[in-house]
Each structure stands twice: as C-alpha cells, then as structure tokens.
Structure 1
Amino acid sequence: MTLLNKPVREAARRSVLCWLATVDADGQPNVSPKEVWAISDDQHVVVANIASPISVRNIAQKPQVCLSFVDVFVQKGFKLVGSAHEVQVENPAFSAWAAPLLAMVGQRFVIRSVLVIRVTSVAPIVAPSYRFYPDKTTEASQVASAIRAYKVHPAPQEKP
C-alpha cells in the first residue's frame, strides 16, 4: 500500500506550509514551519533547509520526525510520521532529492541541504467540526467560513 497516495498528494499540493516537529537529545520538542517542501515519491517527503539549524541539529541527534499540513480553507490535511536524514549539497544524491525544491524556489532562496523524510505512517487531520457536527459540516461550509474569517475571495476555478 502506498502511504503517500493521491489524496495525500492532493492535500499537500493545496497546503502552503507544513510544520516539521523534531526533538533534541534531551527530549525538548521543536516545531518549525517549512515553506519549501514536496512529496518526492511514494515513501519520501523532501524539505528544503533554508534556515533550519535547529531542525537539522535535532534530526542528526534523533531522526524521528512528524510533518503535518492542512488546507486552511477545507480544514483537512495529514500528519506524516517517519525518520529523516540530511543530504548536504556535496552529496551526489543532493541533485535528485533537491530537484523539486529547486524548481519551486528558483533564485529566491539558497537551499543549504535537503531533509529527506522516509514516511512510515500517515493519519488524517480534520477540524473538530467535521466530527462534532457531521450533518452540518461540509468542505464547502468550511471554505465559506474560512473565506469570511480570513476576508479573502476565492480564485476563479480553472477549466479542466
């Protein structure tokens, strides 16, 4: 079974940020927003190390991580758990792992290294309204609520 299946990939595509949770050698947690990240294949997520010294240090000490992302309009997403390692620029594998990230950033950021996460479990994240008010809560109602709360307007839909 593919952990990073189509629904996970679609939700990731709609999410602007992800949150990477790591822990240091003393068990102190760290959660850090990551703007440049991508699902690389059926088992791996790659995260650009642009300004992440604490995440990098923690992963070197304890590779267990949790990465989560949520579509803020639909208020659904996924929690991915796995182990990570850093691939530095000098590593011959860097180009392959960094390719989707470099395509995203162009000249905007310098990617210092890539954090490669091998995902071992995936769990859905849903807003409590879906559970407590299942007869009244739909994705459309959540989007409408978010549009009101964030005072934004939806973009025109692309034609297939």
Structure 2
Amino acid sequence: MITPEVTAFAERSVLAWLATVDASGCPNVSPKEVFSVFDSRWFVIANIASPASVRNLAENSQACLSFIDLFVQKGFKVKGRAEVIARDRDDFALWAEPLEKITQGRFPIRSVIVLTPDSIEPIVAPSYRLYPSETTEKSQAMAAMKAYGVVSARWQMPDKPSP
C-alpha cells in the first residue's frame, strides 16, 4: 500500500502530524519530526515527547498521519491502526533503527509508534483542482519560496537580469 510516491513524499517532508483520539473521543494532533517508512508496509514514528499520543493509542489504536512537501503543497494522509513499541520490548531496536539513523542520537526515542495503513489518500492544495492548467509543482514551489523568502537548490529561482 505504501507506494514509492508516498515514500518519496515522506522522505522529503520535514514534519508530520499524528492525530489520535482518547477514549472519550477528544482528538489530539501532535507534530512529529522523526518518522519514516519501514519495509514499505508501515510507518514508524519516534515518540520523543508525546505522552498524549501514547496515552491515546493505549485507549484507541486508530490514528492518522499527515505529511506534505511544504513547497509543492502536496502530500498524503495515512489512516490506520497504531501500536506503541516500548523500549523494553525485544523488537524495539528493529523498529527504532530507521529513526535512530535520522536522529543520530540527538533525541531520546522513548518508544516507537508503528502505524499500519488501512488507507492512504493524497493531500493537494486547492489550486491544483481549481486551476489545473496553470498549477504545477514548480509554480507552487516558486510561489511558496517567494512568500517565505527562501531559495531552494531543488527549485532554482530564475536569474534576474543584470542592470
């Protein structure tokens, strides 16, 4: 279910949001800096400082992970069931390995949240649907870079003519 396209977007997204729900139905959305695709079948998410997410998943395993490439304004929403792998479990190191590669030991991984997808849907900015003939990934990236005042090696800004 996790296609190469989904994996590519996950790899280039610098932040994801994990949505969980407690036993009473109260939602919680928590930003996640450290997440990865694992074996093309699961998403692994580092629990660095997410007690509410872990507590909610103990009560209700339903979760949704969303991530986008901020510049092209596309990404994916992944819904499924999540399990929390505690540090004291025998298989913790296996699940934590791709996350440890990302953190290089900078952040303590308290546990690993393993999300098994039931569905994966694209997220796209409305411009792609409202103005399909003029909206491209490059046009979205160029507009975002202008708005944020940044330059990207991936999406080169056109050179300005010399005066």
TM-score above 0.5: yes
Q: Does residue 51 in structure 1 map to residue 41 in structure 2? A: no
Query: Equivalent of 2:82, from 81, 84, 106?
Result: 84
The normalised TM-score by structure 1 is 0.94
Distance 1:10 1:65 in 2: 21
Deviations 1:12-49 (A, max 9, x none): 11100010000000000000100000000222000001
Instruction: Report the AA paired with residue 100 of structure 2.
Output: L
Q: Which residue of 2 aligns with 1:36?
A: 34
Query: Equivalent of 2:72, from 50, 74, 86?
Result: 74
Q: Which residue of 2 aligns with 1:20?
A: 18
Query: Equivalent of 1:109, from 88, 107, 110?
Result: 107
Distance 1:101 1:41 in 2: 13
Q: Which residue of 1 aligns with 2:158?
A: none
State the Cα distance separating 1:107 from its structure 2 match. 2.2
Deviations 1:42-99 (A, max 9, x none): 2200000100000000000000000000000010000000000110111011010000
Query: Equivalent of 1:147, from 145, 148, 156?
Result: 145
**Identity %, equivalent residues:** 54
Give unpaired runs (5+ residues) of structure 1: none
Distance 1:120 1:156 in 2: 32
Contact 1:4–1:41 (8 Å) recurs in 2: no
Distance 1:13 1:156 in 2: 14
- Runs of 4+ more than 6 Å apart: none
SS of residue matched to 1:39: strand
CA shift in 2, pair 1:152/1:110, >3 Å:
same
The normalised TM-score by structure 2 is 0.93
Count of residue pairs brought into register by the alignment:
155
Distance 1:149 1:12 in 2: 23
Contact 1:19–1:67 (8 Å) recurs in 2: yes
Distance 1:115 1:128 in 2: 31
Distance 1:156 1:18 in 2: 21
Q: Does residue 127 in structure 1 map to residue 125 in structure 2? A: yes
